[in-house]
Amino acid sequence: MTENATATTTIGKMVRRTIPLVLALFLTQNMAAQLKQFTLEDLNFGGNNYHNMRPKNMYLRWWGDKLMYQDAEEWGTVDMKTGSKTAVATLDKVDAAMGNGKVASAMNVAFPYPGSPLALLKNSKERVLYDWKVGKVVWRQPCEGEQYSDWTAETRAVAFVRDNQLCVTDAEGATRTLTTDGSRDIVYGQAVHRNEFGIMKGTFWSPDGKRLAFYRMDQSMVTDYPQVNTFTRIATEEPDKYPMAGMTSHKVTVGAGRFGPYILHNKKYVSLPKEDDPLTVTLGKAVALIEKKRLLEQQRHIKTFNGDNPIEVLNGRYSPYIAYDGKNYRLPKAMHARAADLTLEECVEVIDAAEQKSEQKKK
């Protein structure tokens, strides 16, 4: 009895050990059967099944709290639970509604107004707001020749660069050129230093869309780097501004003058505040002071009437005034609010009235 019991116990232990082993072998074989053996047609670029093996990209954007997808020829909603897509508009319908050219792609469509079914698109001639529920263009704005455009939904104005000058077009389509000295050396409204600091644009609208901050980069002192444009039929030389290591980039100088410490940049002087030590002032503080003075100078100028002796309308410390032939003339208080809209005739009347008054005092 003892020998039989011992044998039974030994067999039972072997069976209990064998069952998990058989089960593990079965699972391993089953998993191996499920693994796909890829072929070169699956994995090689250009293979007949390669397009089915690539990961699919989805280009998404929010419309309020709804998730939208953007595709080359259409856009629509995405069900955030199932991932299913429903098209709401196609480029064919947009092009038909615009009637003056085709939109290249819907990949850049924007939805600026949450809750309102308006899509912002543009072609080479104009920018539009398209109501996809009624299938109509409800607003248009010219955009021909724009570079580095930056549109704001608040006022529907757009800032852009054209012929090296910074410009703004308002919602009614009126364009105003903000600068006159833009060139290859003086760069406006573009990301500076080739986006190397994560700054991808050079214009910045205020939250209400009524004011615009922008970059102005003076690279006149930077050495040309040889480049060749190979997109033309015959390659042409197009040198680029790019400082090599150890060569001159943007220069900022701090010095002490007759009236106190100053900063010198591109032949322009900026006084250093009394609280700043010229020996310890940082480059960042110096740049901020330079930009502040440049902005104040730009804000000082309201308008100019060109001629042999230009007439300028300027912002003074307390109120606007007219500068002409080396003299300054106060504007009547009633003209302060519309100084930017004064005509040449009105400015001449102010100057003549002031001169007559001066002559009468002499008598």
Global pTM value? 0.59
CB atoms within 10 A of CB 158: 23
pLDDT of residue 106: 92
CA-to-CA separations, 147 to 45, 150, 152, 201, in angstroms, rounded: 36, 9, 15, 11
pLDDT, tens digit only, all 363 positions of the chain: 444 444 445 544 444 555 554 445 555 555 554 667 888 888 888 888 888 888 878 899 999 999 999 999 999 999 999 999 999 999 999 999 998 889 999 999 999 999 899 999 999 999 999 999 999 999 999 999 999 999 999 999 999 999 999 999 999 999 999 888 889 888 888 886 666 667 788 888 989 999 888 888 888 888 888 889 888 889 999 888 887 777 777 655 556 566 678 787 777 788 888 888 877 888 778 888 888 888 777 777 888 898 888 899 988 878 899 999 888 998 998 898 888 889 999 999 999 998 888 887 776
What does residue 290 show for φ and ψ, rounded to 5 degrees?
-65, -45
DSSP string, 55-92: PPP-EEEEETTEEEEE-SSEEEEE-TTT--EEEEEEHH
Single out the residue of 260, 263, 268, 271 nearest to residue 287, CA to CA. Answer: 263
pLDDT of 1 reads 47
Residue-level pLDDT at 34: 60
Secondary structure (DSSP) of 102-140: --S-STT-B--STTS-EEEEE-SSEEEEEETTTTEEEEE
- Paired tokens of 270: 């900026």
pLDDT reported for residue 73: 94
Q: Note the pLDDT of residue 257.
A: 61
